[in-house]
Amino acid sequence: MRSRLFLILLVGLVIAYGLSFAVLFSERYMSAREVMLDTLETDVATSIAILDRVPAAERPQWLPRVNRGNYRYILGPGSPGVPEMTPRGKAIADRITQASGGRFPVEVEAIPGGGKQVQAHLTLSDGSPLTIDVHPRMTPIAQWLPYVLLIQLLLLVLCCWFAVRLAIRPLAALAEAADTLDPNTRTPLLDETGPAELERAARAFNAMRDRIARFVEERVQILAAISHDLQTPITRMKLRVEMGADSEESRKMEQDLTEIERLVQEGLAYARSMHGDGEKPSRIDLGSFIESLAYDYQDMRKTVTVEQNIDGTIETRPHALRRILTNLIDNAIKFGGAAELRVRRERGSVIIEVLDRGAGIPEDKLEAVLQPFVRLENSRSRETGGTGLGLAIAHQLAVAIGGSLQLRNREGGGLAAVVTLN
């Protein structure tokens, strides 16, 4: 759009400028032509009278005085020509004939070779031939005029570029704001200053963003409220089942209630993860944090190893980060049997990788499994206890603390969950 608008404005202005210049040049040409013809008529009449009155021997001395840039006098018959002339040649012939005043018969001919040279032949009173050699041409333009034209064209280009930039900049800002729109983060409002149309569009966009944020927050609050309120009746039902008769049906019902309770707890955790669980950032020693997390799993006889670690501190939300890594490590252990942790710094960011050697995830499902309640039946069946919220919670928490989570399949099999902290 920027290029098209720039070309439209530039071409339009150049065409308008060219037309104005053509009209001005045409008007100047016609004015100069009339001035030349009028001057020619007056000057020729005077010059013929002078050359006719002076003695023949003195006439060569007068030629430099009466010659002009567009025409000169030749004491002789001149060059042979043809009677056919252009309209401009006919106008010159009429003026020369009028300048002679009828005293001297004039014969005007066009000299071959471009049709721009005209010669008028006449005979003075003493019988001497005289030729008026006319080379009609426009007065040359000033040497500085092409530079002025070039400067004007450059000004047109600069003005078009500035106008297009001024017009497109709010649209670019609106597009960038739309691309970065995230109801879960507090991004700066779109600037509402400028022309009335842009101000109205900015206000509408900001209002839309606020409505989307409120809509999402209301839905999350509803999910949190339902998940929270369901825990009480589920607990009562479990107590009643435990107090009842011990039978196979009772045990199955207790397992179902346990699964429902776990699903409710995961739903409540997902709702809280939308805003990072309200935790304030603090500075932690990341190397020690990763080692401590691995030791906790090793104490529970889980195969979790730290293959690569870093030193130094970072500012983050430690409880949210622990929940992210816990969910990823649990998945790695569940579907791969073991988890490997690798931590490194890259271009000012901290990269934490949780690796496993499980079956991996189909390439077309890597993005989908980060959404809530998305489960892969071939690897996460009901018997495994998966709720479809573990990766969604980890992803949502990563975004809430200013990072990101990406999944990719490893060469040789397995999955790599990459957490990037900016």
- pLDDT tens, position by position, 96-125: 777 777 677 777 787 776 656 778 888 888
Q: Residues 241, 320: one domain?
A: no
**Residue 141, amino acid:** I
Is 11 among the domain residues?
yes
What pLDDT shows up at residue 352? 94
Residue 163 within a domain? no
Name the residue among 262, 278, 263, 275 with its Cα closest to residue 216.
275
Which CATH number does the domain housing residue 386 bear?
A: 3.30.565.10
Q: Residue 382's pLDDT band (boundaries 50, 70, 90)? A: very low
Please indicate, yes or no, whether residues 245 and 302 belong to a single structural domain of this protein. Answer: no
Would residue 231 count as lying in a domain? yes
* Those residues with Cβ within 8 angstroms of residue 223's Cβ, 6 or more apart along the chain or in another chain: 267, 268, 270, 271
User: Is residue 104 domain-shared with residue 60, that is, in the same domain?
Assistant: yes
Asked if residues 396 and 322 have their Cβ atoms less than 8 Å apart, the reply is no
Per-residue burial over 126-147, b if 16 or more Cβ lie within 10 Å, else e, is eeeebbbbbebeeeeeeeeeee
Q: Which of 201, 145, 143 is nearest to 170 (CA)?
A: 201
Whether residue 15 sits in one domain with residue 34? yes
124 and 232 belong to one structural domain: no
Using an 8 Å Cβ cutoff, are 177 and 188 in contact? no
**Domain count along the chain:** 3
Distance, in Å, from the CA atom of 392 to the CA atom of 370, rounded to the nearest integer, reads 5
DSSP code, position 82: B
44 secondary structure, DSSP code: H
SS3 content of the chain, % helix, strand, coil (to 5): 55, 15, 25
Q: What is the spatial distance between Cα 403 and Cα 394, in angstroms, rounded to a whole number?
A: 11
Q: How far apart are CA 339 and CA 333, in angstroms?
A: 6
Is 206 part of any domain? yes
Same domain for 262 and 388: no
Same domain, 264 and 320: no
CATH number of 83's domain: 3.30.450
Asked if 219 and 268 sit in the same domain, the reply is yes
Lowest mean pLDDT among 225-239, 262-276, 383-397: 262-276
pLDDT tens sequence across 273-308: 665 555 788 999 999 999 999 999 999 999 999 999
Choosing from 274, 297, 332, the residue where a domain stops is 274
CB 401 within 8 A of CB 316: yes
| Domain match, 285 and 400 both | yes
CATH at 270: 1.10.287.130
Contact 105, 112 (CB under 8 A): no
**Residue 154 is assigned to a structural domain of this protein:** no
The separation between the first and the last C-alpha atoms of the chain, rounded to the nearest angstrom, is 34
Q: Are residues 417 and 282 in the same domain?
A: yes
Output the pLDDT for position 380.
42
Q: Which two tokens stand for residue 318?
A: 């430690």
Whether residue 254 is found in the same domain as residue 291: no
Supply the range of the domain harboring residue 288.
278-421
